[in-house]
Chain A
Amino acid sequence: GQSLEQPSEVTAVEGAIVQINCTYQTSGFYGLSWYQQHDGGAPTFLSYNALDGLEETGRFSSFLSRSDSYGYLLLQELQMKDSASYFCAVFSGNTGKLIFGQGTTLQVKP
């Protein structure tokens, strides 16, 4: 089967750096995505990794290691508005299946 694991909660202070890990088990792995969701809102796309390495988009970076079935989302210079839930999701092959993790709630404190 397919499964993803990520921490349920992370707390950090404004201005700090936080890393949210995601490990996965899946057949036919194709790529790993990250989404942000504020309370009551729709998920919004942050990043997508299909190849090993680091992808950087502003304050957010995402990393993938296919050999370790592991990825992470790195948030730098944390701001209060970054308080939200973050989901990793794996995409398998050329099917339309997308499996989400259970989400990590990030609380940013002043």
Chain B
Amino acid sequence: EAQVTQNPRYLITVTGKKLTVTCSQNMNHEYMSWYRQDPGLGLRQIYYSMNVEVTDKGDVPEGYKVSRKEKRNFPLILESPSPNQTSLYFCASSFRRAGEKLFFGSGTQLSVL
């Protein structure tokens, strides 16, 4: 089944404890991206990747890192999480570009205490 798999679904952590949210797609998509969703603010792009080893900042990259060593995986890394990073996170992928049909993962609800 074609899908974007995100893990974990829920995560509670404490300030400053490094964490990684994994994202994997099995559709051979070139484009992958991360979003955070906060009430009243819609979806805001954190980072995106147009292909392997190519990543770039979205609108809210501060406090996040990403890597794209393989085509299928695009992990989101929070080196030192803070409470203002408490949010619902989505990973998404598409065949080539952001404007094409994006397939979203099921989301990760992160709480930073």
Contact = CB atoms under 8 A, between A and B. Distances in A.
Contact of A97 (B58, B102, B104): B58
Contacts of B99: 30-31, 33, 48, 50, 91, 98
Interface residues of B, number: 28
Contacts of B50: 96
B107 A42 contact: yes
Given A96-B31, A97-B45, A102-B41, A48 B100 contact: yes
A44 interface: yes
A92 to B, nearest CB: 8
Interface of A: 30-31, 33, 35, 41-45, 48, 50, 87, 89, 91, 94-103
A44 B94 CA distance: 12
B101 A98 contact: no
B42 A102 contact: yes
B33 interface: yes
A28 B88 CA distance: 29
B87 interface: no
